[in-house]
């Protein structure tokens, strides 16, 4: 099973990368589960035709019982099974606890045993890597980590923090950083800046996504570019990233 956690600064494009990567795997015939680990709960929306999924934490706040598998998992484009952890009421509680509670529920309900995924993708808020936000990289969940960054200063700062945090977990059997995905924002000398970070961190750039109006246009329709135009040049970037991960895990 391919199990990848995708981290990066908030707003850097993790959900776009994750959803398109999930769709690319699905088109290739793989059974995929995507888990959004962000209180915004918008990771899977473009796999679901623009319709937001009720997050696990919202369900648990509004109901006396825990959700069933059918209530917490919805099937999106290409058969991708979608889960959103959600978070606490804004200003109250710890968002990381929503991730932990959802992961416990996934275990209790044997979600993976029901769906038998070939690929599990975790889309994680990456400004901090502590508590619940570290849960996806603990042993038994994700095995590989992708860091999404642009050449912007704060994106690279967050990327470095993520790499440092993961290095601090190295002796605990946690997931390892597989590489960097450069999600272009067209800042000056962007490729050189990200390459310098990757070289310093000792990790490769494994994917490069040009800034694309096409991605935005398809997302406005509630779709990934893989669904909207799988033959496009931008879609081929996500297929190439999927191929890389398949090869690395073969």
Question: Residue 14 catalytic?
Answer: yes
Question: Residue 40 catalytic?
Answer: yes
Count of the separate structural domains present in the chain: 1
User: Which of the following is catalytic: 9, 74, 163, 223?
Assistant: 9
Question: Residue 110 catalytic?
Answer: no
In DSSP notation, 151-216 reads: SSHHHHHHHHHHHHHHHHTGGGT--EEEEEEEE----TTHHHHHHHHHHHHT--EEEEE---HHHH
Q: What band does 127 get if pLDDT is binned at 50, 70 and 90?
A: low
Residue where the block lists tokens 């977990």: 169
Spatial strand order of the sheet with 81-84 comes to 74-75, 81-84, 32-37, 119-124, 2-8, 144-149, 176-183, 205-209
The yes-or-no verdict on residue 99 having pLDDT over 90 is no
User: Which of the following is catalytic: 31, 118, 127, 176?
Assistant: 127
Average pLDDT over residues 205-232: 97
In DSSP notation, 23-62 reads: HHHHHTT--EEEEEESTT--TTGGGTTTPPPPPHHHHHHH
Structural domain including 116 reads 2-248
Rounded to two decimals, the pTM is 0.94
Which tokens go with 181?
């995905």
The yes-or-no verdict on residue 88 having pLDDT over 80 is no
Question: What CATH code is carried by the domain that includes residue 195?
Answer: 3.40.50.300
Question: Residue 28 catalytic?
Answer: no
Average pLDDT over residues 214-239: 97
In terms of residues, how long is the chain?
250
Average pLDDT over residues 46-55: 95
The yes-or-no verdict on residue 219 having pLDDT over 90 is yes
CA dist., res. 209 & res. 99, Å (int)? 28
Task: Calculate the average pLDDT of the chain.
Answer: 91
User: Which of the following is catalytic: 3, 14, 193, 223?
Assistant: 14
Supply the pLDDT for residue 33: 98
User: Which of the following is catalytic: 40, 42, 118, 236?
Assistant: 40
């Amino acid at each position: 099973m391919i199990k990848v956690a995708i981290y990066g600064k908030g707003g850097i494009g993790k959900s776009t990368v994750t959803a398109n990567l999930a769709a690319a795997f699905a088109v290739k015939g793989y059974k995929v589960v995507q888990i959004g680990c962000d209180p915004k709960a918008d990771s899977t929306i473009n796999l679901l035709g623009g319709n937001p999924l009720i997050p696990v934490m919202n369900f648990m706040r509004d109901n006396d019982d825990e959700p069933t598998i059918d209530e917490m998992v919805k099937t999106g484009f290409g058969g991708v099974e979608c889960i959103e952890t959600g978070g606490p009421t804004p200003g109250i509680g710890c968002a990381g606890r929503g991730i932990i509670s959802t992961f416990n529920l996934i275990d209790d309900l044997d979600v993976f045993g029901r769906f038998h995924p070939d690929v599990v993708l975790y889309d994680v808020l990456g400004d901090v890597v502590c508590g619940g936000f570290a849960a996806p990289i603990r042993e038994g969940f994700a095995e590989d980590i992708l860091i999404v960054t642009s050449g912007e200063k704060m994106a690279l700062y967050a990327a470095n923090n993520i790499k440092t945090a993961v290095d601090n977990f190295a002796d605990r059997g946690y997931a390892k950083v597989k590489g960097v995905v450069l999600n272009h924002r067209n800042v000056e000398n962007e490729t050189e800046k990200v390459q310098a970070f990757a070289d310093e961190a000792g990790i490769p750039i494994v994917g490069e996504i040009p800034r694309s109006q096409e991605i935005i246009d398809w997302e406005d329709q509630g779709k990934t570019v893989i669904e909207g135009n799988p033959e496009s040049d931008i879609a081929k970037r996500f297929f190439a990233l999927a191929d890389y991960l398949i090869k690395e895990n073969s």
